[in-house]
Amino acid sequence: MFAVFARFCYDIYVDNTSAVYSRERQDTMYISFLFIVWIGLTILFAVVEAATVSLVSIWFVGGSVAALIASAFTSSLGIQIGVFIIVSALLLLLTRPLIIKKLSPKTVHTNVGINIGRRATVIEAITPEKAGRVKLDGVDWRASCDTALDVGEGCIVHAVNGTTLDVTPEKQTEKA
């Protein structure tokens, strides 16, 4: 890669210092210019990705590197842009789902959701301002409710938030 870059830097130097601008020299300058453009775009996409850290432009880094390599073999801007688009699209379609799957947080299933819809008995009074305690299958749980519940009343679990059960009065559930 360094040898290709050095060759194009040399071509730019030769073109800028040469008194004769033939068609061949202009093509060399054009190839070299596009090579530098692709290097700049690669750096730009990498900086944008580093700034966002949300896998927005990493796919375009790969596409611009592929176009950079293509610029070493052809001076056709259309071919280089085509390579950029195709490689970027392939990277996006083929690797994004895998990367997202690997980077997404793992959910730990604890079977605590099995308690939703089950009946519990209040063992410490619950008010809307203060959580109380309920007993569910012989296990003591912290519980909260939008209405006041007295000791001995039945309630139904409708959600689990960490170690706290969100409950509703059993009577209210029967009416609904």
Q: Are residues 26 and 94 in the same domain?
A: yes
For a pLDDT cut of 70, what percent of the chain falls above it? 78
Query: Residue with structure tokens 């800028």?
Result: 16
Token couple for 72: 């070493």
Going by C-alpha positions, the residue among 118, 153, 156 that lies closest to residue 137 is: 118
Domain span at 118: 112-175
Q: Binning pLDDT at 50, 70 and 90, where does residue 4 land?
A: low
Q: Are residues 9 and 71 in the same domain?
A: yes
Which domain CATH number covers 130? 2.40.50.140
Last residue of a domain, one of 103, 133, 154: 103
- 134 pLDDT above the threshold of 80: yes
pLDDT digits (tens, 9 = 90+) for 12-50: 544 444 334 444 555 555 457 888 999 999 999 999 999
- 11 pLDDT above the threshold of 80: no
Dist CA 27 CA 23 (whole Å): 6
CB 142 within 8 A of CB 161: no
pLDDT of residue 123: 96
Q: Are residues 163 and 93 in the same domain?
A: no
Last residue of a domain, one of 50, 70, 103: 103
pLDDT of residue 104: 79
Token couple for 71: 């610029």
Going by C-alpha positions, the residue among 138, 139, 155 that lies closest to residue 147 is: 155
Q: What is the pTM of this model?
A: 0.49
pLDDT digits (tens, 9 = 90+) for 56-100: 888 999 999 999 999 888 888 999 999 999 999 999 999 888 888
